[in-house]
Structure 1
Amino acid sequence: MPQHTLAPDIPPADDLAEERRHLDESRAALRAMREHAQSLSSDMAGDWVSRQVLQGLLDQRVAALADHPDTPLFFGRLDRDGADDLPPVLYVGRRHVHDGGGRALVIDWRAPVSRAFYQASPAEPMGVDRRRRFGYQGGELTAFEDEDLAHGGDLGPSRILTDEIERPRTGPMRDIVATIQPDQDEIVRADLGVTVCVQGAPGTGKTAVGLHRAAYLLFTHREKLSRAGVMIVGPNRAFLSYISSVLPALGEVKVDQTTVAGILGDHAHPEEPAVSAVKGDARMARVLKRALWLHVVKPVEGVLVTKGANRYRVADYEVREIVASLRGTTRYNPGRATLAQRLAHQVLVQMERRGESPDDRVQDAVARSKPVKTVVDQVWPKLVPEQVLFRLLSDPTFLARAAKEDLTPEEQTALLWTKPYKSHRSAKWSGADGALLDELADLMDRTPSHGHLVVDEAQDLSEMQLRALGRRCRTGSATILGDLAQGTTPWSARSWNTVLTHLGFAEGLVTELTLGFRVPREVLDYAARLLPGIAPELAAPRSLRPGAGSLRLVETSDVIGGVRDAVSAAGEGSVGVIVRDADAETFATALGAPVLGPDGDGSKVLVVPAGLAKGLEYDHVVVAEPADIVDAEPRGMARLYVVLTRAVTTLTVVHAKPLPEAL
């Protein structure tokens, strides 16, 4: 792990030694807590299933108490005015640590009292006289800074805070728990019942804010969310690999992390963007609903059930009335089951009129009988989503009936397969089809819901994909993260209110982060020249870091040679060489560096296809031939904006072709 170089003045040796003693005591206490958890046995549970559940909980507890030697156990201290029952001195860290007597040595950063570490100021000290920030090198406490909150005045910039933000970032994404800013903290601590949408410019930490909010909610609503679950949805597996260490470092080891493809199915059959755009439109929800219910037909026969010498008949008009009462008022499969039970109930009524005493078991038997099943199969056929979508995309007459006025004739023609498949089992589905199949699946059976959903890069999702994600948290809430300026799909969102509406959270809170901490100002200002052409309604982002000398433009006839020189000149930290997707292997061979794959890679130098760059950060970024990146896709200028804002320390642009006019 890269080392943290600290700039603040060296504190008094006695004070530093005392803080180190507290760190040693805290680490020893954490080890004792973990050893105690390891000593507990699941044998106390009464049966095998309970033992397995208990053992799983114990394993999670042990994993959550892991001590990472290179990760500071605490990063702050609050000296308080003692106006309440809490201790006057509190250490704030990644998790709660107590000694054998129950004395708190470290307070979890998510605890209510810890809020003052992030929010207190001389104007509003929140009961804090002094805030102390600690600096570390590896796992060793090497420095601290004190901020006087009791006597007013300007605190000035924290050099420890600045050093931590600017620390080289080789490897996976780190948590930002020690550097959360007040506006970020407000989002992190938003209540579970509030859905928050964060419009975040590059480098504002929106992804980290979303992950830390998930950790905060798990801490604050542990019992509820342990049952309902929390899910993180990222744009691709490389991104998930990049963020995979953040929540475990905060003690949260049981959170589902997946992609939209992981939820909707990894369908990758190629398709024209214009066709995918039609499939992604929310109008398709109405089309699919009609298509499904068009399979329910008017009954033409009644039901005749024979039991011994007795015959019981449900007339055709009675069957029609039952079907009409159910059609469209329930999900498809429960409705089908209810139809069988209603028909069986009509038979039981006749049995009772004849003096019999049938019970529920008799009704279930009648519902499963061949005469009832035959009528149900004819009127309300058993279906899977693939059958319905197959018929919709291969039968122009059926598509026209389902589409009505929602789709134009041209759109209907575009949706139809030019070479129909033999059946739904042989059909090859596109990524856009995945959302349609999911919509149909929910019309048939209710989709299970999570307690909280975090969706990153949400601006790139289609309306139908947003509906699919909204179903996963319809009984919970969500944190939606993204940047409208970084929308790179043909259906990219232009409004967060629209995104929230399709997710099912029209009343959600939209907030904006425009102050960057990661990307140097010189780099961010250069990339922001593209904003008027791709997102003119957004305010230009600002950066706290001047970054003088962080931007270099290299015009050369030998782009590969220029990239090689830029990589050689890069300093400490990670290097991302970002190129047009089709050129990745060529540059990888020339540089002797691996190509970033879907599962990520921890190499110091990586060749990154532009299509995978979103959400990632590198200390040094080398961009090869921006004109090729722009020309590679319809929203290529937005893709270039993404690419140019991946740098944390330096950005080098190497080109032979003319740069876009704005640059």
Structure 2
Amino acid sequence: MVKVTYEAIRSSKDPHRRPPTTQTEQRWIEALPPFPKAWGKRRYLPLFAHLGLLLSYKRSRYEHIVVDEAQDVSELEWEIIQAHNAGGRWTIVGDLNQRRRLDINHLDWHELAKRLHILPDAQLFQPEVVERGYRSTQPILDFANRLLPPSENQPCSLQTDGPEPSVIRASTPGKRDLRAVGEASRLLDSYPGGTAAIITTDPDAIDKLLLGKGWRRTDTAVGAGDWAREGRRLAVRTPDSARGVEFDGVVVVEPRYFVRQEKFAGTLYTRLTRANRELVVVHSKPLPEPLRQR
């Protein structure tokens, strides 16, 4: 039934389909691919979930729903989740500073509370703010916090000590990547038994250098992955695959490209705070303006 309904939405000849009410809606419908190409793709999952919900005879009903990483939930996804929440009680956890999606329209938690009807008067809603983190050291947070607007909460860390983040300028992209591999090796020496990662928008360039230095790939994933040499392990991650993970030491390569990917600093801020103990930034292009301040 989901397939039939999806194709009915796409078809302008279906007599039961409500005609589009806006040009935006019309363009969106016209851009929908055939079902076999759309099925399983991340961008269409909310639509398929919504169709499944509407077509279901027995809907799951919950009294309380917990949503993590709430800053990346779209309007349609909220609508689907809300349809399951019979009790209207929520636990919503997220950080708008780590937002990575451009299609998220709510700008603050009060707007979201109003949309979800959490209180009769959204102005009465007061989110609980976690003022202390535990993952990164205070020096790392101080560095990453430069990306946040002054009006935003500036989190503090339970780890008050630790080395200042290192910022290393290389003259060429090739020398930049070579230095990144060297710094990652140093981090593994500094934290025996610990973990280290290189986060880059160009994992293929790092992979070639690692192969040349005797590292071997230990996984079969396409693109960024895990490497090993002489009992040591190193992770290579893209900005997207670095989400939700953490390491003792992290080398972030070319922060300028992180900002260019999305029109806000959420991706870069999140990746700078993947480091538990030590952060290194290696670049050959100018740094984003907030990170140049000293």
Does TM, scored on the shorter chain, surpass 0.5? yes
Equivalent residues of 2:272, 2:279 under 8 A apart: yes
**Residue 42 (structure 2) aligns with:** 431
Q: Look up the match of 1:186.
A: none
Q: Out of 559, 578, 585, which is 2:204 matched to?
A: 585
Aligned to 1:495: 108
Aligned to 2:259: 630
Q: CA deviation at 1:556?
A: 1.2
For residues 641 and 396 of structure 1, the distance between their equivalents in structure 2, rounded to whole angstroms, comes to 47
1:393 aligned onto 2:4: no
| Residue 152 (structure 2) aligns with | 538
Please state how far the C-alpha of 1:518 moved relative to its aligned partner. Answer: 2.5
SS in 2 for 1:513: coil
Alpha-carbon distance in structure 1 between the residues aligned to 2:68 and 2:55: 28
Q: 1:616 aligns with which of 239, 242, 245?
A: 245
Aligned-partner SS, 1:518: strand
Higher RCO, 1 vs 2 (CA within 8 Å, ≥6 residues apart): 2
Contact preservation (8 Å) 2:162, 2:278: no
Q: Which residue of 2 aligns with 1:281?
A: none
1:441 Cα deviation from its structure 2 partner: 2.3
C-alpha spacing 1:542/1:505, structure 2 compared with 1 (3 Å): same
The 2-side partners of 1:578 and 1:437 are apart by: 33
Instruction: Provide the rounded CA distance (Å) in 1 between the counterparts of 2:148 and 2:216.
Output: 32
Query: 1:290-301 maps to which residues of 2 (within 5 A)?
Result: none
How big is each residue's C-alpha offset from its partner over 1:196-240, in whole Å with a ceiling of 9 and x where there is no partner?
Answer: xxxxxxxxxxxxxxxxxxxxxxxxxxxxxxxxxxxxxxxxxxxxx
* Structure 1, gaps ≥5 residues long: 1-383
Contact 2:168 2:283 in 1 (8 A): yes
Q: Partner residue of 2:26? A: 413
**RMSD of the alignment, in Å?**
3.1
CA distance in 2, matches of 1:391, 1:480: 35
Q: In structure 1, what residue type is equivalent to 2:257?
A: D
- What's 1:660 paired with? 288
Letter in 2 for 1:643: R
Q: Which moved more, 1:436-445 or 1:551-560?
A: 436-445
Amino acid at match of 1:499: L
1:546 counterpart letter in structure 2: T
Residue aligned with 2:289, SS: coil
Matches within 5 A, 1:426-505: 426=36, 428-429=38-39, 430-445=41-56, 446-450=58-62, 452-475=64-87, 477-492=89-104, 493-502=106-115, 505=118
TM-score (norm: length of structure 2): 0.77
Contact 2:226 2:234 in 1 (8 A): no
Contact 1:395 1:416 in 2 (8 A): no
Unaligned runs of 5+ in 2: none
Q: Distance between the aligned counterparts of 1:419 and 1:439, measured in 2?
A: 15
The one-letter code matched in structure 2 to 1:586 is A
C-alpha distance 556-452 of structure 1, shift in aligned 2 (>3 A)? same
In structure 2, C-alpha distance between the alignment counterparts of 1:419 and 1:465, rounded to whole Å: 18
- What is the distance in 1 between the residues matched to 2:13 and 2:286? 47
Superposition TM-score, scaled by structure 1 size:
0.37
AA aligned to 2:206 is F
How many residue pairs are counted as aligned between the two chains? 266
SS at match of 1:567: helix
In the alignment, is the contact (CA less than 8 A) between 1:584 and 1:607 conserved in 2?
yes
1:553 counterpart residue number = 167
- Evaluate the alpha carbon distance shift between residue 418 and residue 517 of structure 1 in structure 2; reply closer, same or farther with a 3 A threshold: closer
What residue number does 2:275 align with? 647
Residue 140 of structure 2 corresponds to: 523
The alignment partner of 1:490 has SS state of coil
Looking at structure 2, the residues matched to 452 and 510 of structure 1 have their Cα atoms a distance apart, in angstroms, of: 17
Match of 1:607 among 219, 227, 236: 236
Secondary structure, counterpart of 2:129 in structure 1: strand
Whether 1:574 and 2:187 are equivalent positions in the alignment is: no
CA deviations over 1:527-547 (Å, ceiling 9, x no partner): 111112xxx542212223333
> Could you say if the C-alpha distance between residues 607 and 444 of structure 1 is closer, same or farther in structure 2, counting changes exceeding 3 Å?
same
Deviation at 1:389, TM superposition (A): 2.9
Q: Distance in 2 between matches of 1:637 and 1:657?
A: 17
Structure 2 match to 1:218: none
From the superposition, tell whether residues 521 and 466 of structure 1 become closer, same or farther in structure 2 (CA, over 3 Å).
same
Partner of 1:295: none
Q: Distance in 2 between matches of 1:602 and 1:474?
A: 47
Q: Which residues of 2 match residues 23-422 of structure 1 at below 5 A?
A: 384-395=1-12, 401-404=18-21, 408-409=22-23, 411-417=24-30, 421=34
Question: Which protein is richer in helix relative to its size?
Answer: 1
Contact 2:256 2:288 (C-alpha < 8 Å) held by counterparts: yes
Q: Structure 1 447/486 Cα, relative in aligned 2: closer, same or farther at 3 Å?
A: same
1:477 positional shift = 4.2
Find the aligned partners of 1:442 and 1:606 in 2 and give their Cα distance.
Answer: 39
Decide whether the 8 Å contact of 2:197 with 2:247 is kept in 1.
yes
Q: CA deviation at 1:579?
A: 0.8
Report if the CA contact (8 A) 1:596-1:607 is conserved: no
